[in-house]
Amino acid sequence: MMTRQEIIDRFGGVFEHSPFVAERAFDNGSIQEPLKARDVHAAMAAQFRAASPEEQLGVLRAHPDLAGKLAIAGELTEDSRREQAGAGLDRLSPQEHARFTALNADYVQKFGFPFIIAVKGLTKDDIVTAFERRIANSREEEFKTAKAQVERIALLRLAALLPGDENG
């Protein structure tokens, strides 16, 4: 049986820089062995949904801008770096990078948190299209959409952490 600290060490980063999600899932007994990505995700997502709106906003704000300053400086988490590279965001032309920078700035100014999308399987063009479509959302709609994307990212990360459970 994994200890509380082992669970936090292994899954604390699944919800970007927000180990409280794994801590609460462990503390209420909802993470059970054998560990399966879908089960661990369900336990952690329930805690994320039960968190206060301020805590949820903190999780959203912990996510980096896509192709933003942290990526350029090489300061993304390994998960974020791999995810962004998989979508080609580490190989943008200067014009594409300028477009992402402008979209990021407009989005953060409007919503108060970075644009979040599960990039696995998407191209940079798919991401720009989603960016442009979602920036027209209301704050309430986008808060809900961003939280759903955070949960999808968490499931993909858990599937990668738990071999034999690739499909989540």
Alpha carbon distance 2, 113 (integer Å): 34
**Residue 77 confidence (pLDDT):** 73
Alpha carbon distance 46, 36 (integer Å): 15
- DSSP alpha helices (H): ranges in the chain? 4-11, 20-27, 37-50, 53-62, 69-73, 78-86, 94-111, 124-134, 139-161
**Residue 88 confidence (pLDDT):** 84
Q: What is the pLDDT of residues 71-101, one digit of tens each?
A: 555 666 777 777 777 778 888 888 998 999 9
**Residue 89 confidence (pLDDT):** 81
Asked if the model's pLDDT at residue 62 lies above 60, the reply is yes
Catalytic residues: 63
User: What would the two tokens of residue 96 be?
Assistant: 């594409």
Which domains does the chain carry?
64-153 (1.10.3330.10)
The answer to whether 161 and 14 have CB atoms below 8 angstroms apart is yes
> Which amino acid does the sequence have at 56?
Q
